[in-house]
Structure 1
Amino acid sequence: MGNITKQWAIPIYMKLILTFLTILTPLFGLSLAMNEYGSSSVRTEITRSMQSKVHFYNKSLENEFSRIIRIIKEFTSYEDLDYLSHRSEIMGVFEKRTRIQDIQKELIFIKSSSHLILSAEVHVTSIDRTISDGGYDSIPRDRFDALNIVTNIYESPFIHWEDRLFISLPFPITPNNLQPDFVVDVEIDKEKLRQDFLEFTDSASGNVVWTDQERDWEISAQESGSLGMAAQLSDEAGVRSIVGQGRNYLVAYEKSGVLGTTLMMYEDEKTLLGPLRLHRIGFWLLSGLSLLLIVGVSFTVYRLIRQPLKTLIRGFRKIEQGDLNVSFEYRGHDEFKYLYGQFNAMTRNLQQLIDEAFAQKYRAQNAELRQLQSQINPHFLYNSLFILNRLAKKSRDQTQIDFTKYLSDYFHFMTRNSSNEVTLAEEVRHARNYVEIQTIRFAGHIETRFDPLPDEWVSIRVPRLILQPIVENAYKYALEQHERGGKLRVAFEHIDGDAVIRVEDNGERIGPQDIHRLRQRLNDFNISQETTGLVNLHRRLVYRFGPHYGIALSGGTEAGLSVSVRLPMNNETIEKTEG
């Protein structure tokens, strides 16, 4: 079946698969397009939701800190603070204490105005004291120096110092770094911001990060921080897919021109878009399963067709090899039952026709054989009798005895017609008798070499007169013309498990072109002329043993012609003549 399949570019199995794929591919394509459209829509909604959240919370931070800055600005105009910073030296103890307490109340108010304020303080340089919402102490110089910085409170109000975040406002703003009257600072509660950011996130894999645009500080809901992704945000706002620490994150961000900060929110794409990926994986798994089903169904259908077809092809192969005893039984009740029935009928008809043709040809060959047996060469008979006459005039010797024995055996074999087949030993003995007779006839002119017959060949059954006619042709057409130096050899060889008898002469009357024409006549079974000699012999062997056997022609080793007769080693059948 494999060899048959190779004769076509696309076998039936592949055609079945391609047919199913042609039908289902548009459906899969439509499903894939719908799946991708749905995934794209969901992703768009997710990014839009993230951007909306970031924008809302960024505006909330802007509003909250703008309000805090406004309160701080209003506090710098507080009357008690102005009196304390400019007239503390002329105040009495009671008045000074009263004004300090009033300032503390204002600071407590500032602190309570927003949950994002951790503490509120004012550093009064004239009295070298710091008034806070919770106490009264000397000015801490390191903190004062860090916060006594003039900033654009409306664009970048935050000061980062010792991992703490402040909004500071010196008053008044003096040139040449002169010491201000006081410095108001508010510390931002970073922990409260983290808690707010935690409430702002939707999942444990997400994070909210708030950082200044120089990235000197950041506040993150999770310990992971910005993962270095803040440096990759160049636009004012947007949603991007960014790689951080080897993982893909979907980042929504927005910059604030009011606060000089960037608020970013990111989610692990694998977690955020996990359901979409699962849906896509499910689609491809379904596609793969469908493909396997297509292959399986196609294979099942293919086997339903292949097995009966394989049996039929095996039957045709046997017929091609010459075996017509082929018959199949099909148990099903479909179209193959009809095909099997017609196949069986065809083999029966072929067998009958071949038997009739073979019997007719074989009878014709037997008739030719009988005719050949009756046609003894008159010239040979005349010469043999003439030699016998000459020998008779001489005294009796061993040569005359041998010659008469050879001649007697020869005529005895030629006139015997009890069987169409003999053993190879009998056939070789007859040919050897003929050679011995000719050796006496051409004494000193022709050198003959007749190898002994191998023992395992003795019982091989062959048609009568397959070797002697070949030897006779060698004498008649090649050796009789030699006055001296004629050579004849009969050899026996094993070739590919077959018995091969080779008859070779060194005649000079035949060339390569003659041998080629003889081969053509030998293998042309439709020649409508008299069938004699080698052609007749070759046909008899082919009809008897098959096309693998018969006669082959080639040039001899010393010019001349080499005739090889190939016979099967295991043939032991003897066919009797009719009647």
Structure 2
Amino acid sequence: MQQQVFAGLRSKSIYPKILIVFMLVVAPLCVLSLVVNAKGESAVKQEIDKSIGSKTAYFVDSLETEANRMYEHQQGFNLDKDLQRLVYVDSTLGRFEWGETIKRLQEKMEIIKTSSKYIDTVSVQMLTLGKAISNEDPYNSLDREAVDAFMSQYKEKGTSIINVNGRLLLGYVNPVAILAQKKPDYIIFIQLSVPELRKAMAQFANYPHSGAVLADAERKWTIATGADKELLAAMNRFADERSGTDGPGETETLKVGGTTYLMSYQYSTAIHMKLLVCVPEKEVLGDLDSYRIWFWVLALLSMLIIAVFSTWIYRLIHKPLNKLVFAFRKVEDGYLEPTVLPTGQDEFRYLFEGFNSMVVKLKELIHKLYEQEIRVKSSELKQLQSQINPHFLYNTYFILHRLAKMDDIENVILFSQYLGEYFQFITRNGAAEIPLEDEVKHGRLYVEIQQIRFSNRIDVEFDELPEGCRQVMVPKLILQPILENAYKYGMERKKDDGLITVKIRQDDAAIRISVEDNGAGMTDEELGKLQSQLGLQLEGGEITGLRNVHRRLQLQFGKDSGLRLHHGSEGGLRVDVTIRDKAGQAANEPDNNA
């Protein structure tokens, strides 16, 4: 029983409700935090993307600025008088004047070199003389390979930066000579410092495993830094997919070898160069990823704390509540004893004290009501029985009077014998309950008495009592009033062929006795009215007949027992007696007489 109570409590436990309430309170905060974190992460990522793009754009702008400055230096140097004198009047210069001119030119070229960290050397290729001069070498042979490469590319593309065996040369030539289809007299070359360019690229691609690529529009030359071969190949493919007219776009993602990179692209239309910067996303967003992980750890920890807190609240409330409910269940089962008070001084102790007080008072009240009900039931049963006995006595004296008046001595003797046995049954045992076997035997005796009255006008068919029903205790005189009712109202006007059948059968939970006559019967309205009157409790007055039997059966066996009235199959009235054997006295025998 206790296990059933606990199982019922668990099935209706408030723990899931407590947990759900806490979850519903915390869940919006977690969702809001997640949304805020996601928006913050997105904003930070956009800022990082912008930062990488800005660095890329700044580097390209700085290269354009440096290239323009170099170009301006070349333009100014192109008009230098010493350069003009050396190129056009070299043969007329004296040895000292020639040397001074060379020295001044080298000084000017050194000034150009120091104007930018991206300049490695400055040289002039004097095609008319077949000689070259640089800031490092006062007089050298002509760099024919560089001159031919520059002239070829300048005529085709109009660009000035060429790659000659790994050297990046920014060349300048008098455009008038090119436009006039003439061979130029000299070309001014500025050789860019590849190490300085690579060093500058490495400064804004300073994340581990990041890389940068600087290349011309046709990718005839490339400067790469900090990237492995696989990443460099992917970056070159990315650069090839972008046309030279594409401007800077948003930072894109590129996945290489299972690693995701942030790719920033910038193209310079002024110097016809592409710049790509590639940074591992986890290196840039590493902190954001850790924040996301910490957020989920915090969320899971919050859920765990909520579960533990809910469990604690549940135990704090459920333990005394469970004990109190179990005490109520014991009261429902009739165990009216106080329960042990909890040790705490909280509200539950007050409830338990109130419960114990209620149980004590309820126990006293039930005891008083029980005793009173027993006394009332005992007095009512005795009253009902005392009302039946005189009723039958009236009828028997009338019959005996009639037989004596008719001088029917034989029937007077037989009838007197039956009456003796009848009153012996009534007076011998003053108990309110008798075995059903004795009640049926008394019913048969009553039928024999009535047969003397009605002679051969009425036949009675009486079933044998099933063996398992014989010792079932029933109120005294429950069958006689029904038989008396059949004789009085069903058979009294019957001149001949009267029939009363008494059937007794038994099932698993009840004993059923059916008394049916073939008399005049009743209308539906009369039958319904009589059935409804059976259960009425009249204040005062005499309670006799069918209502008497119905009332006593219900008092002893419960409301499912008693009488039910029906139309008989032969046109008369059928009275069904139901005895619910609550004590389990009826045996589970098959119904042989139904």
What is the TM-score with the length of structure 2 in the denominator? 0.69
Note the C-alpha offset of 1:299.
1.3
The letter for the 2-side match of 1:285 is L
Given the superposition, is the C-alpha separation of residues 116 and 392 from structure 1 closer, same or farther in structure 2, using an over 3 Å criterion? Answer: farther
* Partners of 1:325 and 1:347 within 8 A in 2: no
Note the alpha carbon deviations across 1:395-453, whole angstroms, 9 max, x for none.
99xxx97x777655434323333322111211222223334544565566555443322
2:152 aligned with 1:139: no
The letter for the 2-side match of 1:147 is Q
* Partners of 1:197 and 1:221 within 8 A in 2: no
The letter for the 1-side match of 2:377 is Y
Given the superposition, is the C-alpha separation of residues 416 and 515 from structure 1 closer, same or farther in structure 2, using an over 3 Å criterion? Answer: farther
* Partners of 1:166 and 1:186 within 8 A in 2: yes
Q: Which residue of 2 aligns with 1:410?
A: 422
2:592 aligned with 1:565: no
2:471 aligned with 1:471: no
Distance 2:35 2:27 in 1: 12
Note the C-alpha offset of 1:481.
3.7
* Partners of 2:209 and 2:227 within 8 A in 1: no
Identity percentage over the alignment? 26
* Partners of 1:538 and 1:550 within 8 A in 2: yes
2:347 aligned with 1:331: no
* Partners of 1:460 and 1:570 within 8 A in 2: no
SS in 1 for 2:392: coil
Note the C-alpha offset of 1:351.
1.8
Q: Which residue of 1 aligns with 2:362?
A: 347
Note the C-alpha offset of 1:307.
0.9
Q: Which residue of 1 aligns with 2:371?
A: 356
* Partners of 1:54 and 1:264 within 8 A in 2: yes
Distance 1:415 1:549 in 2: 27
- Matching of residues 245-264 of structure 1 within 5 Å: 245=255
Q: Which residue of 2 aligns with 1:382?
A: 398
Distance 1:407 1:331 in 2: 67
Residues 58-67 or 341-350, more deviating: 58-67
* Partners of 2:512 and 2:576 within 8 A in 1: no
- Matching of residues 90-239 of structure 1 within 5 Å: 138-139=144-145, 143-144=149-150, 147-149=153-155, 167=170, 169=172, 171-172=174-175, 174-175=178-179, 193=197, 195-201=199-205, 203-204=207-208, 221-222=226-227, 224=231
The letter for the 1-side match of 2:321 is R
Residues 121-130 or 458-467, more deviating: 121-130
Given the superposition, is the C-alpha separation of residues 395 and 468 from structure 1 closer, same or farther in structure 2, using an over 3 Å criterion? Answer: closer
Note the C-alpha offset of 1:344.
1.7
Given the superposition, is the C-alpha separation of residues 329 and 170 from structure 1 closer, same or farther in structure 2, using an over 3 Å criterion? Answer: same
Note the C-alpha offset of 1:271.
1.9
Q: Which residue of 2 aligns with 1:369?
A: 385
Given the superposition, is the C-alpha separation of residues 204 and 85 from structure 1 closer, same or farther in structure 2, using an over 3 Å criterion? Answer: same
Aligned residues: 554
* Partners of 1:470 and 1:534 within 8 A in 2: yes
SS in 1 for 2:376: helix
Given the superposition, is the C-alpha separation of residues 143 and 58 from structure 1 closer, same or farther in structure 2, using an over 3 Å criterion? Answer: closer
SS in 2 for 1:367: helix
Distance 1:544 1:535 in 2: 14
Q: Which residue of 2 aligns with 1:321?
A: none
Q: Which residue of 2 aligns with 1:538?
A: 550
Note the alpha carbon deviations across 1:477-506, whole angstroms, 9 max, x for none.
334344456554333344552333333445
Distance 2:195 2:537 in 1: 110
Q: Which residue of 1 aligns with 2:529?
A: 517
- CA RMSD after TM alignment: 5.8
Distance 2:382 2:395 in 1: 25
SS in 1 for 2:576: strand
The letter for the 2-side match of 1:347 is L
Given the superposition, is the C-alpha separation of residues 316 and 214 from structure 1 closer, same or farther in structure 2, using an over 3 Å criterion? Answer: farther
Note the C-alpha offset of 1:338.
0.9
Note the alpha carbon deviations across 1:314-372, whole angstroms, 9 max, x for none.
14543xxxxx4432422325213312312321331232232133122222222321342
Note the C-alpha offset of 1:460.
1.4
Given the superposition, is the C-alpha separation of residues 20 and 139 from structure 1 closer, same or farther in structure 2, using an over 3 Å criterion? Answer: closer
Distance 2:266 2:146 in 1: 37
* Partners of 1:552 and 1:564 within 8 A in 2: yes
The letter for the 2-side match of 1:568 is D
Note the C-alpha offset of 1:464.
1.4
Distance 2:219 2:522 in 1: 109
Distance 1:500 1:44 in 2: 91
Distance 1:300 1:451 in 2: 65
Note the alpha carbon deviations across 1:209-262, whole angstroms, 9 max, x for none.
667899998967545466969979x99889x67555499877778776755656
Q: Which residue of 2 aligns with 1:577?
A: none
Distance 1:130 1:484 in 2: 162
Q: Which residue of 1 aligns with 2:315?
A: 300
Distance 1:205 1:423 in 2: 105
* Partners of 2:511 and 2:581 within 8 A in 1: yes
* Partners of 1:193 and 1:219 within 8 A in 2: no
Given the superposition, is the C-alpha separation of residues 90 and 330 from structure 1 closer, same or farther in structure 2, using an over 3 Å criterion? Answer: same
Note the C-alpha offset of 1:568.
0.8
Distance 1:129 1:384 in 2: 173
The letter for the 2-side match of 1:451 is D
Distance 2:189 2:392 in 1: 146
2:515 aligned with 1:492: no
* Partners of 2:118 and 2:197 within 8 A in 1: yes
Q: Which residue of 2 aligns with 1:480?
A: 492
Select 2:435's aligned residue among 410, 423, 430: 423
Q: Which residue of 2 aligns with 1:457?
A: 469
SS in 2 for 1:273: helix
What is the TM-score with the length of structure 1 in the denominator? 0.70
Given the superposition, is the C-alpha separation of residues 569 and 543 from structure 1 closer, same or farther in structure 2, using an over 3 Å criterion? Answer: closer
Distance 1:122 1:286 in 2: 73
Given the superposition, is the C-alpha separation of residues 205 and 182 from structure 1 closer, same or farther in structure 2, using an over 3 Å criterion? Answer: same
Please, which runs of 5 or more residues in structure 2 have no aligned partner?
Answer: 344-348, 587-594
Distance 2:483 2:61 in 1: 121
Distance 2:476 2:101 in 1: 152
Distance 2:287 2:181 in 1: 52
SS in 1 for 2:342: coil
* Partners of 2:338 and 2:360 within 8 A in 1: no
Residues 445-454 or 27-36, more deviating: 27-36
Distance 1:113 1:299 in 2: 80
Given the superposition, is the C-alpha separation of residues 151 and 455 from structure 1 closer, same or farther in structure 2, using an over 3 Å criterion? Answer: same
Q: Which residue of 1 aligns with 2:591?
A: none
Please, which runs of 5 or more residues in structure 1 have no aligned partner?
Answer: 319-323, 574-579
The letter for the 1-side match of 2:580 is L
Q: Which residue of 2 aligns with 1:311?
A: 326
Note the C-alpha offset of 1:374.
3.9
